A and B are shown apart, each in its own frame.
Chain A
Amino acid sequence: MIGNLDVVTMELQLAWRNIWRNPRRTAVILTAVIIGVWSMVGLGALMRGILIGMIQNNIDTLTGHIQIHQQAYPDDPAIEHSISDPETWMSAARDALPAGSRWSQRIRIGAVVSNARHTRGAILMGIDPAAEARLSFIGTAVTEGAYLADGDTGGILIGRALAQQFDTRLGRKLILTAQDSDGEIVSRAFRIRGIYQAEMADTEKGFLFVNRQSAQQLLKLGNRISEIAIRLPAHEMAVPVANDLKARLAGSPLRVRAWPEILPLLKAYVEMFDTFILIWFIVVFVAMGFGILNTTLMAVFERMREFGVLKALGMRPGRIVRGVLLETLLMLVLGIGAGNLLGLATCWGLSITGIDLSAMAEGVAYAGMARIITPVVWIRDLLRANLVVLLLGLLVCLYPAIKAARMTPVAAMRHH
């Protein structure tokens, strides 16, 4: 055992000295690996940050982790597809929710909003102000005026973008028009109590918030609601908890969906991003791999005579392969170490303020991205980047290593 350790020490020493025989070449390989790993870690974390920002953003906005609707509502969000007796169902579902979960009841119905000069379609949200504040972005989004108070039946919250488009401001009135549960067109004036800001301009234009009771009154819904939204303590719980709820509510007229079902596009995005990250790693690696291959081949060819002498002395080919791979391994480990440090430092630096994309917010909104992205380092991404470089790096160098080992002493000695 001690003998083995001593052999390893000597081989490491030999490999270490060999890689510094041509410092410039080693510097080239190291630079390639460092830049490669740096960009993998940095951009990987940035992509991951964008992705998580997107999920967070969507869940914050109004999705929540889980939504419960009347069976037909998701496909046809019409007023007649409302949930009757929500309290009964809520008490049946409550046991399935982990501690720290929050929920709220909502009306969510298409409406037309207008003032003297402008008209547009929007979604009318009837909310319980206190419960909703703990669940979605709206509780902290009001930047002018005030959030809805309980029992304020005449107040409405609108987005900044809508206020601009409608050329209106706090204290002014807006008319809401919608179809009530009897199919009659009803309308009513609300006074602007607060103006909110959201991550996306589309949200600001698309959603109006009033008290649930006023919406129920206007639409003649009684105590019926459109949806129950649930927010869990962690993203990962969404699917299992939803499955549990589905089991408990089986046979009821309700439909339970977790966010990947509610936002299939986002789910597809998440999966695509995962693939993107891997493809990105491989693209970076291929560029880097060619550099490593080239340089190692050159290094090996320069030393053919030496390999010939070693083989003449009785060194087995396998040992020569091992020697060359050990040199590669040392360089890879050095480069990977430095690349990770740089990458993590960059992520840390960027995460202090985040990257502000509001300048290009229009395009960003389209993709459902957050305005400010912060890199997120996942151990899994980090391991994947490092493994890609390490394993493929060694694999690439197998070729020069075998070339060195295959060289017969006689041919090697004639090699100049």
Chain B
Amino acid sequence: MGTIVECNGVSKSYRQGKLVVPALAEIDLCVEAGGFMALAGPSGSGKTTLLNLIGGLDDADSGTIRVDGREYARQSKAQLADLRLHRIGFVFQAYNLIPVLSALENVEYVMLLQGVAARERRRRAREVLAVVGLEGMAHRRPAELSGGQQQRVAVARAIVSNPSIVLADEPTANLDSKTGEGLLHLMQRMNSDRGVTFIFSTHDEMVMAYARRIVQIRDGRIADDLHKASEHR
């Protein structure tokens, strides 16, 4: 399988007034298509920053980032938006969903932005909600769902348009461990059944245990890169 994410010498620092806060320094990272990778590290190490750069939500100060063979620096803002819309799924820690739309409509909405026809949208949204085990709750609004159910809807929305990669920033941080494990099982299944690449960040050992590859970040640098044997099934 080919490489889906390729970072070369990526650095990023934030400016806070006169203060320059370094967040990432000279990151080199390749992620294989079909991978299931954890980005681990203590708070403030740069996990969110790296995920945002890979997702094209923010610009790197230097270095190159390539996703699906496209180099970000060469894309316009609109092209980046389209790339995210069609090729990348996002799951955030919380408040992923539009509160006034039902679970089904939240999943549909991304496809609406993509220009998928109404009937097709409805069909695929129902199908994917069933896959994440929420067929009975399609018409509930986010406020009427538990935290774990909301994250499942977010995963459903992320995978519904068959993206090449799903970026999840601490998807289980707001969940209790049992619910968190349920979500990881779901992500694992999406990974193995649909071949979607997952990169998720965490500082939870239990969550890391699910990953086939663990990249440790410390102070904006890669401190360790562990490939588990299971990746070469």
Pick from B57, B98, B108: contact of A409, CB under 8 Å: B57
A410, B100: Cβ atoms closer than 8 Å? no
Give B73-100 interface residues, CB cut-off 8 Å to A. Answer: 77-78, 81-86, 88, 90, 92, 95-96, 98-100
Pick from A2, A309, A311: contact of B92, CB under 8 Å: A309
B110 in contact (CB, < 8 A) = yes
The verdict on A305 contacting B95 (CB below 8 Å), with A21-B100, A315-B81, A316-B78 known, is: yes
B57, A313: Cβ atoms closer than 8 Å? no
Which residues of chain B are near A413, meaning CB under 8 Å?
92
Chain A contact patch, size range: 20 to 34
How many whole Å from B21's CB to the nearest CB in chain A?
Answer: 13
Query: What is B's interface to A at a CB cutoff of 8 Å?
Result: 52, 55, 57-58, 77-78, 81-86, 88, 90, 92, 95-96, 98-101, 105, 108-110, 112-115, 117-118, 157
Bound-state Cα–Cα, A2 to B82, Å: 23
B55, A319: Cβ atoms closer than 8 Å? no
The verdict on A410 contacting B58 (CB below 8 Å), with A312-B84, A313-B110, A316-B81 known, is: yes
Bound-state Cα–Cα, A7 to B108, Å: 11
The verdict on A18 contacting B92 (CB below 8 Å), with A312-B84, A314-B85 known, is: no
Which residues of chain A are near B90, meaning CB under 8 Å?
309, 312-313
Query: How many residue pairs bridge A and B at CB < 8 Å?
Result: 69
Task: Enumerate the 8 nearest inter-chain pairs by beta-carbon distance, A residue then B residue, closest first.
Answer: A314-B85, A17-B100, A314-B84, A6-B118, A409-B57, A410-B58, A314-B81, A312-B90
10 pairs, A vs B, C-beta closer than 8 Å: A3-B118, A7-B112, A309-B95, A314-B82, A314-B88, A314-B110, A408-B58, A409-B52, A409-B58, A410-B57
* Residue of chain A at shortest CB distance from B94: A305
Which residues of chain A are near B77, meaning CB under 8 Å?
317
Which residues of chain A are near B52, meaning CB under 8 Å?
409-410
Bound-state Cα–Cα, A6 to B117, Å: 8
B77, B82, B110, B113 interface centre (most CB from chain A within 10 Å): B113
How many whole Å from A20's CB to the nearest CB in chain B?
Answer: 8
Which residues of chain B are near A316, meaning CB under 8 Å?
78, 81
Bound-state Cα–Cα, A14 to B102, Å: 11
Query: What is A's interface to B at a CB cutoff of 8 Å?
Result: 2-3, 6-7, 10, 14, 17-18, 21, 305-306, 309-317, 319, 408-410, 413
A319, B113: Cβ atoms closer than 8 Å? yes
Bound-state Cα–Cα, A21 to B143, Å: 12
How many whole Å from B105's CB to the nearest CB in chain A?
Answer: 8
Which residues of chain A are near B98, meaning CB under 8 Å?
14, 306, 309-310
The verdict on A3 contacting B117 (CB below 8 Å), with A14-B101, A306-B95, A312-B55 known, is: yes
B57, A312: Cβ atoms closer than 8 Å? yes
Bound-state Cα–Cα, A305 to B57, Å: 14
